[in-house]
């Protein structure tokens, strides 16, 4: 009897101490597990209990909220000591975009990687050689008409096809695109089917070629486990979190790389249809993957999704308020931002890309770790890429100083990951995509030697020779 009581007391004390120690995790776990109306949540791995998936290739598309996503991945990598593949310095902060990606563009101090996210033109075959075999491929799309308006204003002073347009008028461009657009000149990829181009496709394939568009969508579907949608960013993050078994804390963000409201314009009613027609391949991709996003969300249960989006926004607001002195942060133009590490890159004098500054009293009552998190949360991509390259190079040198000098593995060899491989946690679609006979990395036009950016040879022309049905990304 006494033994039984002692045993019971022991059980009670253990349970209480467990609750005290793991209160946060248990609370969210139990809430999740027993939330009525969320049956599909129960069958998903419970966050905090399953190992997180750490091998991610995020194809960063242009003007799609992808900078916000990149920042989130950078922070995840830093917290978990993961290596992020970064560009060699001669590529700047992009992997020599718009040239098709090859592993020669990756800085040797950032090998072998767990995560890759800087801008590139997608090349599945090369990424497959670089990344671990259980890498999850993710990308993000945005509705073509608002995206094109954004591209038109952002690259107005760079892209020749836009510079030719009188009065920088979007209407004039759409009235007769072919009188301004040259498929093979520098920066033409910003002027037509940019999403298709970034994904490795042929932006100038005539819309009449329905077989090509269909095969291309199918290929994207096969390679990418998740295609996020910028207009439904938080909902996309819910799917991402479940796919990767990440915690809510792993998907908190502050929106980055935005224009001032003054740099944006609303479209007259007839423009969206014209934009979709001009960017027919992108429109088709978008419609397909927006529909498929909503199918996945509806499979998870709208109530569950809504609840998780609420939790995400609440946690986000708490974090942001703690960083910005109890208030939401004020957007500032680059000139107003005192800390130069926080000034976003400006595309031209006509467009203001806004950013944030930290409050001067940030250090008061905060650990240096908390300050660091606040800083990284709003750090623009160019600076963050440099910061990461510095810290990873330091780590690389430390690791290799203790060993006999060894040349970095030539990129032609398959890379091994130094990290313990996680089990494939319920990710039924993660498989290395099968090799495609027409991959940009294996085709006759494959780029292994540097070519000046903007060279016309190869851009958009080398992709499809022969049957379009096996077009690679």
Ligand X SMILES: *[C@@H]1O[C@H](CO)[C@@H](O)[C@H](O)[C@H]1NC(C)=O
The footprint of ligand X (CB under 6 A) covers 80-81, 143, 166-167, 231, 290, 294, 325-326, 359, 361, 364-365
Q: Are 70 and 381 in contact (CB under 8 A)?
A: yes
Q: How far is the CB of 326 from ligand X (least distance, A)?
A: 5
| C-alpha 187, offset from chain centre | 21
Helix (H, G, I), strand (E, B) or coil at 353: strand
39-47 contacts, C-beta under 8 A, 24 or more apart:
39/301, 40/299, 40/300, 40/301, 40/304, 41/300, 41/301, 41/304, 44/242, 44/426, 45/242, 45/245, 45/425, 45/426, 47/241, 47/245, 47/246, 47/247, 47/248
d(CA 200, CA 155): 20
Q: How far is the CB of 142 from ligand X (least distance, A)?
A: 9
Q: What string of DSSP letters covers 23-54? A: HHHHHHHHHHHH-TT-HHHHHSPPTTTSPPP-
Q: How far is the CB of 359 from ligand X (least distance, A)?
A: 5
Q: Which residues contact 62 (CB under 8 A, 6 or more apart)?
A: 119, 151, 190, 194, 198
Q: How far is the CB of 358 from ligand X (least distance, A)?
A: 10
Comparison of 345 and 400: residue with beta carbon closer to ligand X: 400
Comparison of 157 and 290: residue with beta carbon closer to ligand X: 290
Radius of gyration of the chain (CA): 24
Maximum Cα–Cα distance across the chain: 94
d(CA 219, CA 200): 11
Comparison of 69 and 120: residue with beta carbon closer to ligand X: 69
Q: How far is the CB of 450 from ligand X (least distance, A)?
A: 35
Q: How far is the CB of 365 from ligand X (least distance, A)?
A: 5
Q: How far is the CB of 152 from ligand X (least distance, A)?
A: 15
Query: What six digits make up the tokens of 388?
Result: 């990461």
DSSP letter (8 states) at residue 12:
H
Q: How far is the CB of 331 from ligand X (least distance, A)?
A: 17
d(CA 98, CA 95): 8
d(CA 151, CA 149): 6
d(CA 325, CA 316): 14
Comparison of 28 and 290: residue with beta carbon closer to ligand X: 290
Comparison of 215 and 374: residue with beta carbon closer to ligand X: 374
Comparison of 326 and 444: residue with beta carbon closer to ligand X: 326
d(CA 235, CA 251): 11
Helix (H, G, I), strand (E, B) or coil at 429: coil
Comparison of 321 and 451: residue with beta carbon closer to ligand X: 321
Comparison of 294 and 396: residue with beta carbon closer to ligand X: 294
DSSP letter (8 states) at residue 87:
B
Comparison of 325 and 455: residue with beta carbon closer to ligand X: 325
Please count the CA atoms within 13 angstroms of the CA of 283 that sit on its side-chain side.
15
Q: How far is the CB of 143 from ligand X (least distance, A)?
A: 5
Q: Is 454 exposed, middle or buried (0-12, 13-18, 19+ CB in 10 A)?
A: middle
Query: What six digits make up the tokens of 299?
Result: 């499979």
Q: How far is the CB of 385 from ligand X (least distance, A)?
A: 20
Tokens 């970095």 sit on residue: 408
Q: How far is the CB of 311 from ligand X (least distance, A)?
A: 22
d(CA 85, CA 8): 53
Q: Are 187 and 159 in contact (CB under 8 A)?
A: yes
Comparison of 127 and 293: residue with beta carbon closer to ligand X: 293
Beta-carbon count within 10 A of 83 CB: 21
Q: How far is the CB of 348 from ligand X (least distance, A)?
A: 17
List the beta bridge partners of residue 56. Answer: 115, 136
Comparison of 364 and 406: residue with beta carbon closer to ligand X: 364
């Amino acid at each position: 009897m006494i033994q039984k009581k002692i045993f019971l007391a022991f059980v009670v004390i253990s349970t209480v101490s467990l609750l005290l120690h793991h209160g946060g995790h248990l609370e969210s776990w139990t809430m999740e597990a027993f939330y009525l109306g969320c049956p599909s949540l129960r069958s998903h791995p419970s966050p905090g209990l399953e190992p997180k998936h750490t091998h991610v290739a995020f194809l960063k598309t242009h003007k799609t909220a992808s900078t916000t996503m990149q920042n989130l991945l950078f922070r995840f990598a830093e917290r978990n000591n993961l290596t992020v593949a970064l560009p060699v310095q001669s590529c700047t902060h992009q992997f020599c975009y718009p040239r098709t990606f090859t592993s020669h563009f990756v800085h040797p101090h950032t090998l072998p990687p767990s995560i890759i996210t800087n801008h590139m033109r997608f090349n599945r075959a090369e990424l497959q050689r670089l990344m671990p075999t259980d890498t999850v491929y993710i990308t993000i799309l945005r509705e073509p008409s608002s995206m094109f308006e954004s591209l038109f204003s952002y690259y107005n002073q760079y892209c020749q096809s836009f510079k030719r347009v009188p009065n920088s008028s979007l209407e004039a461009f759409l009235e007769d695109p072919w009188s301004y657009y040259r498929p093979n000149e520098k920066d033409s990829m910003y002027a037509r089917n940019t999403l298709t181009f970034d994904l490795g496709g042929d932006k100038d394939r005539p819309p009449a070629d329905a077989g090509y568009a269909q095969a291309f969508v199918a290929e994207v579907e096969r390679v990418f486990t998740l295609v996020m949608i910028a207009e439904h960013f938080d909902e996309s993050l819910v799917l991402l979190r479940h796919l990767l078994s990440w915690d809510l804390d792993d998907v908190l963000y502050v929106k980055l790389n935005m224009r001032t409201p003054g740099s944006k314009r609303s479209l007259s009613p007839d423009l969206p249809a014209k934009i979709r027609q001009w960017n027919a391949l992108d429109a088709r991709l978008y419609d397909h993957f927006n529909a498929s996003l909503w199918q996945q969300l509806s499979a998870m249960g709208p109530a569950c999704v809504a609840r998780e989006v609420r939790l995400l926004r609440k946690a986000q607001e708490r974090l942001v308020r703690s960083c910005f002195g109890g208030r939401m942060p004020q957007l500032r133009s680059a000139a107003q931002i005192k800390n130069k590490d926080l000034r976003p890159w400006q595309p031209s004098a006509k467009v203001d890309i806004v950013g944030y500054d930290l409050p001067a009293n940030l250090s008061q009552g905060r650990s240096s770790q908390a300050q660091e998190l606040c800083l990284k949360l709003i750090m623009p991509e160019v600076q963050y890429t440099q910061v990461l390259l510095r810290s990873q190079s330091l780590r690389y040198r430390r690791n290799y100083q203790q060993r006999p000098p060894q040349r970095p593995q030539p990129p032609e060899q398959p890379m091994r990951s130094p990290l313990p491989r996680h089990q494939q946690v319920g990710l039924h679609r993660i498989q290395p995509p099968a090799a495609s006979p027409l991959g940009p990395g294996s085709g006759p036009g494959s780029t292994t030697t540097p070519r000046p950016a903007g060279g016309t040879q190869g851009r958009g022309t080398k992709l499809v020779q022969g049957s379009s049905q096996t077009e690679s990304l």
